[in-house]
Amino acid sequence: MPTKNVPEDNAVGIDDLSVYVPRLFLPLAGEFSNNRGIDPGKLIKGIGIERMAVPDAHEDAATMAAMSLLDLMRRTHLRPEEIGKIYVGTESALDEAKALGTYVIGMLEQIYGKGSFQECSTVEFKAACIGTTLALESQSYWAAVEEEGKVGIVIASDVAKYPLASAGEYTQGAGSVALLVKKNPRLLALEQIYGTFTRDENDFFRPMGCTTAVVNGKHSNQCYLDAMRGAFDSFAAKAKRLKAIAPEKGEGITDFVDHLLFHIPYPRMVEYASAAIFRYDWRESCRSKEIEQELGQEPKALEYDDPERYQAAEADYARHFAKSKQFLQAYQAKVRDTATLSRQIGNIYTGSIYLGLASLLEMQKIHAGERLCFGAYGSGCSALFFSALAQPKVASVPLRGLLQRLEERRQISLQDYERLHEGKKEKSVLPPRGEFALVRIDHQGYRHYEYAE
Ligand code: HMG
C-alpha cells in the first residue's frame, strides 16, 4: 500500500459515533417470505438482508435521533453548552416547516435542563439518502474555523418505508446515527476532497403528503451506479490535482484506499457499486491484463450494430467481472464487512453509509493511518465521493456492543409489523423504557415527547 499524507494537527473529522436501532425486528425468511410468495434465498442472498428493523408505535425519526444523540453525549461526556450546531439529515421529516432538530433539543432538555441547548443552532438537510453526508461536509467547514472550542453534531435519522407487498418492502429498515464532528478527531480526519455528481431523476421520491416512497426500482439501481461513477471521477481528478493521491503508471485510485464504503440500500447494492467502481478504476491498471486473461475482452459499443445486443453483452460481462478472482479479492478485503450491520437492520436511508462505518469500527477493522473512501448516494439524484484518514487514537475509542444489542431485539409477527406499518397499532409492542417516546399529537399537529424512565 503506497504511503499517505499524515494529517496535520488541525484536522477536522469524526471523533465518535453512536447508533440507535429500534428494539423490534422482522426476519425476512419465514412468515414474511411465505406470505409474500418470495424464495427466502432471494432475500438473504440476492438482496442481502436477513432482518428488518421496525419502529414501535411510540417511535419516529425524532425519537430515534434523540436516542442516538443521547447515547453519543453519554459516551463522550459531552455537555449541551459544548455543542455549537446540530445538523440533521433526514427524509422522514415530521413537519413541513419546523426543524426536526428542535424536537430533538426539546427531548434532550428533559434530561439536561430547560434552555441547556439554547445557544446551539439546528437545521434539517433533505437530499434523500445523501442529506447527512452533505450535512457532514458543510459542518466540517464550520468546525475548521470554530474558535470557541465548540463541537458539531450531525445526525442521520430515518424510517425507510415502501408500500406493503411492493418490491421495495424487503429493503425497509429504521435507525439513527449521530456523529461527533470536531477538530483533532479520534476516529477519522476528513481529507476535504469531495467529488460530486448531480442530475434530475425520477428514480425514487415521496410527493408531499405520501407516507411511502415512489420508486422505480431497477432504474434506481442504474441511477445509483451512474452517479457513483461520476462522483468517483470528480473525486479522482481532485485527489490527483491536490496530490493527495498520486498513482503511478499501472496504479488506480483504489490502490490507495483501504476501505471503500458505499450507501447501503441493501447489501447486494454495495457489491454492484464496488464492482462498477473497481472495474472503472482498473481499466488502465496492470490488473486489466489479468482480468482480460480470465474473462476475455470487454464488449465495445462500436463493435455492435444493435444497442440492445451491446447492452446484453455488457450486462453479461459485468456479471462475470463480479465473479472474477481480482474483484472478489478486492471486495473481500475492502468492502464486504461494511454491510455487516445492514444485513440485520435494512436500509436506514441517510444513515446507511455510516452504519457501514459502524460495522467496521465494531469489528475493529480500521487501523491508524488507513484511508477510507465514502461513496454516498441520494435519490433524485446525487452522489458524493470523499476520503478520510484513520487517526492514531482510532483503536482507543470504546466499542458500542452493537452486534450484541441487535441480538437482544424482539422478533415481531407479520401481523404486528403490518399494523405498525399502516399506523393501526396504537399501543407499543414493547412499552417505552429508558427512551424517548411520542406520547401525543395535539389538535394543531404539534408532537409531544416524553422520556420514559
Ligand atoms: P427485485 O425485483 O426484487 O430484485 O428488485 P431482482 O429480481 O433484481 O433480484 C435481486 C437479486 O436477487 C438478483 O441478483 C437476482 O438474481 C437474485 P443479480 O442477478 O443482480 O446478481 N435472486 C436470487 N438469489 C438467490 N436465490 C434466489 C433468487 N432470486 C433472485 N432464489 C430492488 C430489487 C432493489 C430494485 C427492489 O427491492 C427495490 O425497488 N428497492 C427499493 C429501491 C432501492 O433500494 N434502490 C437501490 C438504489 S437507489 C438508493 O439506494 C436510494 C435509496 O436508499 C433512497 C434514497 O436515496 O433516499 C433507495
For 210-231, how does the pLDDT look when each residue is reduced to its tens digit (9 = 90+)? Answer: 999 999 999 999 999 999 999 9
Question: What's the pLDDT band for 321 if we cut at 50, 70, 90?
Answer: very high
215 vs 225: CA distance, rounded Å: 16
pLDDT, residue 206, reads 96
What domains does the chain contain, in order, with CATH numbers?
Answer: 12-452 (3.40.47.10)
* Cα distances (angstroms) measured from residue 21 to each of 160, 210, 231, 416, 417: 13, 24, 30, 18, 16
> Which amino acid residue places its CA nearest to atom 2 of ligand 1?
167
Q: In the structure, which protein residues have their CB atom closer than 6 angstroms to any atom of ligand 1?
A: 39, 41-42, 45-47, 91, 128-129, 167-168, 171, 203-204, 215, 217-218, 220-221, 224, 263, 265-266, 269, 347, 349, 377-379
pLDDT, residue 4, reads 52
Nearest ligand 1 atom to the CA of 377 is 56
Question: What's the pLDDT band for 1 if we cut at 50, 70, 90?
Answer: very low
Taking each helix axis from N to C terminus, what angle separates 267-281 and 307-321, rounded to the nearest 10 degrees?
A: 100
Identify the H or E element spanning 232.
helix 217-241
Compute the mean pLDDT over every residue in the chain, rounded to the nearest whole number. Answer: 96
Mean pLDDT of all residues in 330-345: 98
Asked if 217 contacts 39 with a C-beta cutoff of 8 angstroms, the reply is no
Q: What grid cell was written down for 263?
A: 450507501
pLDDT, residue 287, reads 87
For 164-206, how does the pLDDT look when each residue is reduced to its tens digit (9 = 90+)? Answer: 999 999 999 999 999 999 999 999 999 999 999 999 999 999 9
Asked if 368 contacts 187 with a C-beta cutoff of 8 angstroms, the reply is no
Task: Give the Å distance between the CA of 342 and the centre of ligand 1.
Answer: 14
pLDDT, residue 3, reads 43
Task: Give the Å distance between the CA of 170 and the centre of ligand 1.
Answer: 9
Any idea which of 6-15, 154-163, 262-271, 364-373 has the lowest mean pLDDT? 6-15
Q: What grid cell was written down for 123?
A: 437545521
For 9-41, how does the pLDDT look when each residue is reduced to its tens digit (9 = 90+)? Answer: 679 999 999 999 999 999 999 999 999 999 999
- The residue length of the chain stands at 453
> Which amino acid residue places its CA nearest to atom 47 of ligand 1?
221
Question: What's the pLDDT band for 6 if we cut at 50, 70, 90?
Answer: very low
Task: Give the Å distance between the CA of 149 and the centre of ligand 1.
Answer: 45
* Cα distances (angstroms) measured from residue 7 to each of 172, 183, 185, 230, 392: 38, 12, 11, 27, 10
Longest alpha-carbon distance in the chain: 71
Share of the chain above pLDDT 70, in %: 98
Q: Residue 105: which of 121, 89, 127 has the closest Cα?
A: 121
Q: Looking at the predicted structure, is the pLDDT value of residue 2 above 70?
A: no
Question: What's the pLDDT band for 133 if we cut at 50, 70, 90?
Answer: very high
Q: What DSSP state is assigned to residue 345?
A: H
pLDDT, residue 272, reads 97
For 69-93, how does the pLDDT look when each residue is reduced to its tens digit (9 = 90+)? Answer: 999 999 999 999 999 999 999 999 9
Q: What DSSP state is assigned to residue 206?
A: -
166 vs 239: CA distance, rounded Å: 41
266 vs 51: CA distance, rounded Å: 11
Q: Which of 34, 36, 47, 216 to mutate to test the pocket of ligand 1 (most atoms within 8 A of CB)?
A: 47
Task: Give the Å distance between the CA of 322 and the centre of ligand 1.
Answer: 16
> Which amino acid residue places its CA nearest to atom 53 of ligand 1?
265
Upstream peptide bond of 120 is cis (omega within 30 degrees of 0):
no
Nearest ligand 1 atom to the CA of 130 is 56
281 vs 278: CA distance, rounded Å: 5
Task: Give the Å distance between the CA of 38 and the centre of ligand 1.
Answer: 13
Task: Give the Å distance between the CA of 346 and the centre of ligand 1.
Answer: 12
Nearest ligand 1 atom to the CA of 217 is 39
Task: Give the Å distance between the CA of 349 and the centre of ligand 1.
Answer: 15
